[in-house]
């Protein structure tokens, strides 16, 4: 029986999972991928093999799968049945925040789990849900190797100025730093560049991870130099339900003039702002593109405007720009959004190839474009599988 790695990427209402076979030369081949979505509302379990052929498509009532822990149990039961008892040698998890201590993927024991649970306030939309399946599996299968892979990891080693806020040193030492997120996605892209876009792989590249969460990262010579997210996943670009960069004075105003407490501020910043808050219509770019309401147009205009501003800022952070890479849901699926972003970067010497953009790339700039532009689908799960294999081998 082949050795396998199971990858789990758990969110507030979904669990994505993948199984990889470990080959003779430690190469990893995807054997199946699936997800439980709509946890607590309209749960469904879907999975397909590596060729995209469906393996399961079941729906459940909200009471059957009320939370992520139960969803994880359901995934485990289906995997055991489908894989006929084949047990993964290790399970890799996406974990949003590693704080100042966890700089690289780590095998999780009770102490690690407790330390990661203390970081929940720094990533309330992700960390508790990322950790829940780890806890569930640890309780049921304590000898299973579980590896936490951090979204903050790839950004470790930022130049000091990019790691700081202008606040007293004691707070920095306590861990109040500009960590940056979406690191597994950026690391995957950095690794893919030599193969997909060799001419910029060693140069200065801005990668825009534009999905329901959105951030941008300056990568020079394959290493993260700076990113738009910071201490939490709130900074930088506007997102589905997060406003991104905001004058902290607005928060003081909400506290002093509107009586907001910590929980209300958290709800406001994580759930009530961004594309959803600005448009009053939807957090989904598809809905906004399809709408002729001028609030939808404003929300998209704002999103593109902020991407352009950050592109300029990150190019300045690297003192130059050779290429732009667009990745994640919005970038990978919307030629219109890609075109808008690239057209707005014409001043940097980026010339969009309209036909290549409509065809989906990977290169979407013209041959004579001074700064090239690319669409590269991200694959955070593969990155997690690779890290998990390495940690398991080194145990
Ligand atoms: P992700 O978080 O990377 O899975 O991206 C999810 C987001 O991608 C959704 O919230 C949508 O806003 C966006 N998206 C997905 N498909 C499309 C599309 N065809 N056009 C525009 N946006 C899309």
Radius of gyration of the chain (CA): 21
Number of domains present in the structure of the chain: 2
Catalytic residues: 151
Same domain, 200 and 119: no
Q: Rounded to the nearest whole angstrom, what is the distance from the C-alpha of residue 33 to the centroid of ligand 1?
A: 19
How far is it, in rounded angstroms, from Cα 88 to Cα 19? Answer: 8
Same domain, 30 and 131: yes
How far is it, in rounded angstroms, from Cα 330 to Cα 212? Answer: 8
Same domain, 113 and 238: no
Same domain, 61 and 141: yes
Residue 107: inside a domain: yes
Same domain, 187 and 145: no
Q: Give CA 64 to chain center in angstroms.
A: 28
Residue 386: inside a domain: no
Q: Is 320 left (phi over 0), alpha (psi -120 to 50) or beta?
A: left
Q: Rounded to the nearest whole angstrom, what is the distance from the C-alpha of residue 330 to the centroid of ligand 1?
A: 4
How far is it, in rounded angstroms, from Cα 2 to Cα 46? Answer: 23
Residue 164: inside a domain: no
Q: Is 71 left (phi over 0), alpha (psi -120 to 50) or beta?
A: alpha
Question: What is residue 392's predicted lDDT score, i.e. its pLDDT?
Answer: 96
Two tokens, residue 133: 């399946």
Atom of ligand 1 nearest to the CA of 285: 12
Three-state secondary structure along the chain? Answer: CCCEEEEEEECCCCEEEEEEEECCCCCEEEEEEEEEECCCCCCEEEEEECCCCEEEEEECCCCCCCCHHHHHHHHHHHHHHHCCCCCCCEEEEEECCCCCCCCCCEECCHHHHHHHHCCHHHCCCCHHHHHHHHHHHHHHCCCCEEEEEECCHHHCCCCHHHHCCCCCHHHHHHCCCCCCCCHHHHHHHHHHHHHHCHHHHCCEEEEEEECCCEEEEEEECCEEEEECCCCCCCCCCCCCCCCCCCCHHHHHHHHHHHCCCHHHHHHHHHHCCHHHHHHCCCCCHHHHHHCCCHHHHHHHHHHHHHHHHHHHHHHHHHCCCCEEEEEHHHHHHCHHHHHHHHHCCHHHCCCECHHHHHHCCCECECCCCCCEEEECCCCHHHHHHHHHHHHHHHC
Same domain, 217 and 309: yes
> What is the CATH classification number for the domain harbouring 134?
3.30.420.40
Which residue in 22, 181, 1, 197 sits closest to 94, CA to CA? 181
How far is it, in rounded angstroms, from Cα 360 to Cα 128? Answer: 35
Written as tens digits, the pLDDT of the chain (395 aa) is: 689 999 999 988 889 999 999 998 889 999 999 999 998 889 999 999 999 999 999 999 999 999 888 998 999 999 999 988 788 999 999 999 999 999 999 999 999 999 999 999 889 889 999 999 999 999 988 999 999 999 999 999 899 999 999 999 999 999 999 999 999 999 999 999 999 999 999 999 999 999 989 999 999 999 999 999 999 999 999 999 999 999 999 999 999 999 999 999 999 999 999 999 999 999 999 999 999 999 999 999 999 999 999 999 999 999 999 999 999 999 999 999 999 999 999 999 999 999 999 999 999 999 999 999 999 999 999 999 999 999 999 98
Q: Rounded to the nearest whole angstrom, what is the distance from the C-alpha of residue 210 to the centroid of ligand 1?
A: 8
Pocket test for ligand 1, best of 286, 289, 300, 379 (most atoms within 8 A of CB): 286
Question: What is residue 225's predicted lDDT score, i.e. its pLDDT?
Answer: 98
Residue reference for tokens 């448009």: 279
Two tokens, residue 10: 């758990």
Sign of CA dihedral 54, 95, 270, 263: positive
Residue 352: inside a domain: yes
How far is it, in rounded angstroms, from Cα 58 to Cα 324? Answer: 40
Two tokens, residue 346: 């014409």
Atom 15 in ligand 1: which residue has the minimum CA distance?
329
Same domain, 202 and 63: no
Question: 332: exposed, middle or buried (C-beta count within 10 Å: 0-12, 13-18, 19+)?
Answer: middle
Same domain, 120 and 227: no
Pocket test for ligand 1, best of 211, 303, 358, 376 (most atoms within 8 A of CB): 211
Q: Rounded to the nearest whole angstrom, what is the distance from the C-alpha of residue 259 to the centroid of ligand 1?
A: 35
Same domain, 78 and 136: yes
Count the neighbouring beta carbons within 10 Å of the beta carbon of residue 320. 12
Residue reference for tokens 């606040």: 167
Residue 240: inside a domain: yes
Considering 150, 165, 196, which residue would you say is the last residue of a domain?
150
Residue 278: inside a domain: yes
Same domain, 131 and 199: no
Same domain, 121 and 14: yes
Residues in contact with ligand 1 (CB, 6 Å cut-off) = 211-212, 240, 284-286, 289, 328-330, 333-334
Question: What range does the domain containing 262 cover?
Answer: 183-380
Question: What is residue 13's predicted lDDT score, i.e. its pLDDT?
Answer: 84
Pocket test for ligand 1, best of 330, 331, 337 (most atoms within 8 A of CB): 330
Considering 101, 134, 150, which residue would you say is the last residue of a domain?
150
Atom 19 in ligand 1: which residue has the minimum CA distance?
333
Q: Rounded to the nearest whole angstrom, what is the distance from the C-alpha of residue 93 to the centroid of ligand 1?
A: 23
Same domain, 376 and 228: yes
* Residues facing 374 on adjacent strands: 325, 363
Beta-sheet pairing, 4-10 with 90-95: parallel
């Amino acid at each position: 029986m082949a050795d396998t790695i199971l990858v789990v990427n758990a969110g507030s209402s979904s669990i994505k999972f993948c199984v990889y076979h470990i080959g003779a030369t430690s190469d990893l081949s995807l054997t199946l991928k699936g997800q439980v979505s709509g946890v607590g509302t309209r749960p469904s379990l879907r999975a397909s093999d590596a060729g995209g052929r469906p393996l399961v498509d079941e729906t459940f009532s909200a009471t059957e799968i009320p939370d992520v822990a139960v969803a994880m149990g359901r995934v485990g039961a289906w995997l055991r049945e489908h894989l006929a008892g084949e047990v993964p040698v290790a399970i890799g998890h996406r974990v949003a925040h590693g704080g100042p201590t966890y700089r690289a993927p780590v095998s999780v024991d009770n102490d690690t789990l407790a330390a990661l649970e203390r970081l929940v306030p720094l990533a309330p939309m992700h960390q508790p849900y990322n950790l829940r399946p780890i806890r569930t599996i640890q309780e049921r299968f304590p000898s299973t190797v579980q590896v936490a892979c951090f979204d903050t990891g790839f950004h470790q080693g930022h130049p000091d100025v990019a790691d700081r806020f202008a606040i007293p040193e004691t707070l920095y030492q306590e861990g109040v730093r500009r960590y940056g997120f979406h690191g597994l996605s950026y690391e995957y892209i950095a690794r893919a560049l030599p193969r997909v876009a060799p001419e910029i792989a060693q140069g200065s590249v801005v990668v825009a991870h534009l999905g329901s969460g959105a951030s941008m990262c300056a990568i020079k010579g394959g290493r993260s130099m700076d990113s738009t997210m910071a201490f939490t996943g709130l900074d930088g670009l506007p997102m589905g339900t997060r406003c991104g960069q905001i004058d902290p004075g607005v928060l003081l105003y909400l506290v002093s003039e509107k009586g907001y407490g910590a929980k209300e501020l958290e709800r406001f910043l994580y759930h009530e702002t961004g594309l959803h808050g600005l448009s009053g219509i939807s957090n989904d770019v598809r809905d906004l593109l399809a709408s002729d309401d001028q609030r939808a147009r404003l929300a998209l205009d704002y999103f593109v405007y902020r991407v352009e501003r950050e592109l300029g800022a990150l190019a300045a952070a690297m003192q130059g720009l050779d290429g732009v890479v667009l990745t994640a849901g919005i970038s990978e699926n919307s030629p219109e959004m890609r075109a808008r972003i690239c057209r707005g970067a014409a001043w940097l010497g980026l010339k969009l190839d309209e036909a290549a953009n409509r065809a989906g790339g990977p290169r979407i700039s013209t041959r004579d474009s001074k700064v090239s532009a690319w669409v590269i689908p991200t694959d955070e799960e593969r990155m997690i599988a690779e890290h998990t294999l390495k940690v398991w081998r080194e145990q």
